Each structure stands twice: as C-alpha cells, then as structure tokens.
Amino acid sequence: MTAAVLAALVADTLVSGPGCLPPKPDASVPGSVDPFHTPDAKATELNSAGKSYYRDGKWEEARIEYRAAVDADPAFLAPRLNVACSFVRQERFAEATTEVEALLARGYVPLAREVLEAADLGALKPRPEMARIRRAMTAAAAAWGAGLDDAVLFVGRARAPLKVPPGPGFFILNPHQEVYAFLPTRGVYRQLTAEDGRVLAMTRTPDGRRVVYVTADKLIRGAKEGDLALRGVALGELTLATMTSAAPIKIAGDVRRVEITPIGATMTFKIDGDRVAGTFRWGDRGMLDELPPVPRAKPAAIVTPRGAEPVAATPLVGPPPCRVKAREAIEPGKPRSIVLSARGRPERRIGIEFGAGLVGLPLP
C-alpha cells in the first residue's frame, strides 16, 4: 500500500474538526448568515417610516428610522443603502461614500449593482468620490471571491416564485433564483449572481475557477400538453476569484433543452431550439462556436421549460478536515433542498422554505 493510498484511507476515517459546518457563522469573513432570511417585521416597519421622512426631505429623521431598522435586523441591508442615499441628497458626499464602502464590504452581491444603478446615488458618479467607490468595489469583489475553492455552489430560491397560470400563453419568468455559495468551514453564504432572479441552472467548470449558468425571460406554453419552450435564454459566465462576469450570450428563438457538459477542460452546450440547435462552446469572441459531434458524456446540468433536472450527490468538497458531501433531498409536497453532511457533524439543510438545488430547481 502506497503512502498516498494510506493517507487517503486515514483521512476518510477522521472525524471532521470543530470548524466544519459550525453552528455559528464566522463573522470575520464576508458573507451572510442566511441569504433567504425574511427581514424582521419591526425592521421593515422602521424602514418604511424612514422612507416617509425621506420623501419629505427630512434627512436626519429618516436616518434615525433607518438606523433603528438596522439595529432591529442587522441582516437587512436596504436601510443601509437608504442612509447612503440620504447623504447624497444632502450633498454630504464624503459621508455617503463612507456608507457605500461599508455596504460593499458587507454584501458585495447584489449591492454593487444597486450602488451603480440607484438613482439617488447617481450624483456620486461624476465626482472624485467615485474613485474611492470603484476601489472599494474591487476590494470587496476580491474578498467576496476568496475562499470559494472549497465552497458548495448551488441555485437557491430567495422567496416563493410567481405562479404561472394554467393554459397556453407567454409568461414572464421570475422564479427568484440566483447562484449562491456555502462555505462549509465558515458557515456563511454568499450570493454570486444578480440576474433579477432568473437563473435556471448552473455548473462549475472543471478547473473550479468559473461558473456557467442559464437564464431565461419567458415560458412559452402551447395548446398541446408538453408543448413548452423557453424564450430569452442566455448563457452567463462568472469568474469566481474576481467576481467578474462575461457578457452573456443570448440564444435566439425558442429553446426546449440545454445540456451543459464538460469535455476535458472545455464546457460544451448542447442546445435544442427552433433557431439554434447543435453543440457549441463559449467562443473567444464572446459568441458560440459550433462543435462537431463530441464524445458522449454525462451532462453536468440539464435545463428544460420544466426547470433543472435533479442531479446525484456531489463528490466530497472542502479542505481536510472538513470534507462535505452535498446531496439533493426530494420529498413529496416540499421544495427540493440540499443536505450537507460531514463525518461526525450534524447535517445542515439548505433551502427548506423555498428550495435549493445543486444545479437548479424545477419551475412552478
């Protein structure tokens, strides 16, 4: 028996250390205790009270309510953004910038997008303070992407999806789904995409450095049973270490099925659509390059108009002594969820309320 084999056997018998699936999250690293957390009712009430003062231009009174909302629920980030906006409205740009920097450090995704798109922060863009904010974004992105090599990645649903009425028609898709990571040694979550809740499926590249995912805008349902298609389908790619996204590749026409399969180091996309059909790879020019027939291989992710198909348990992930297995739990009448287990540690379940899947979830 070689030393390497012996070491592997010993490692497999070790009980996981106390830093594995910890009962309390590590507050020293960026992340969220629960990204699917519904804000405390009192915090929501205080935030609404702050908005009333905000609309009346009573900035100090608004900030008192916003800060009280944060005290009531520290995980509720909306009032923190509102505080920054209130300082901008008063042209107190240095204080606004300080608030934005703290906000980015606390929750880079999706707050970076909110910072760039919030109308009441727009006055910062032409000012010198924007350089500070850009630097803060770069630092926050690097911190957010750190430590993800050993994370469990999944698609999570943040709240109940919109109901699709029966019968034929064109329906806007908003399943409230994004890509998330769970760090098993830290006990924290990080949201990785901000696609307006339209992520249907995802998978990690073989080198572990990137995530590719599928989004869609509409569900098309015909008159016949099973006559289903997705419209507005796009492929996304995220580099984890830098949290930078490639320009999405949009798939023209209606799509009935997308298979994502790693072939060596290449991610291939088998698309069954009325205008785009065949097997492709992500091209160097940000377009799909068609491939000749490729060897048969098991897809890492499959998405159809019914959502993402379930997958088997993942191989062990995480650093020794925290090797974690992730498997999907499918129970009648309950949303699909993920069960994390490590030797000698209590199981952890993700997505009990609204759902979570290792590559995606079924559509309602």
Per-residue pLDDT of 253-285, as tens digits, reads 999 999 999 998 899 999 999 999 999 999 888
Residues with Cβ within 8 Å of residue 8, at least 6 apart in sequence:
none
Q: How far is CA 233 from the centre of its chain?
A: 18
How many contiguous H segments (helices) and E segments (strands) does the chain have? 7, 19
**Which stretch of DSSP H or E encloses residue 94?**
helix 93-106
Q: How far is CA 248 from the centre of its chain?
A: 16
**Do the Cβ atoms of 21 and 348 come closer than 8 Å?**
yes
Q: In this model, does residue 321 exceed pLDDT 90? A: no
Q: Where does the pLDDT of residue 286 fall: very low under 50, low under 70, confident under 90, or very high at 90 and above?
A: confident
Collapse the DSSP code of 231 into the 3-class scheme (helix H, G, I; strand E, B; otherwise coil) and give the result. strand
Q: How many angstroms separate the Cα of 16 from the Cα of each of 19, 35, 59, 102, 341?
A: 8, 25, 51, 34, 10
Which phi and psi (to 5°) does residue 161 adopt? Answer: -75, 160
d(C-alpha 236, C-alpha 240), whole Å = 13
214-223, 228-237, 258-267, 283-292: segment of lowest average pLDDT: 283-292
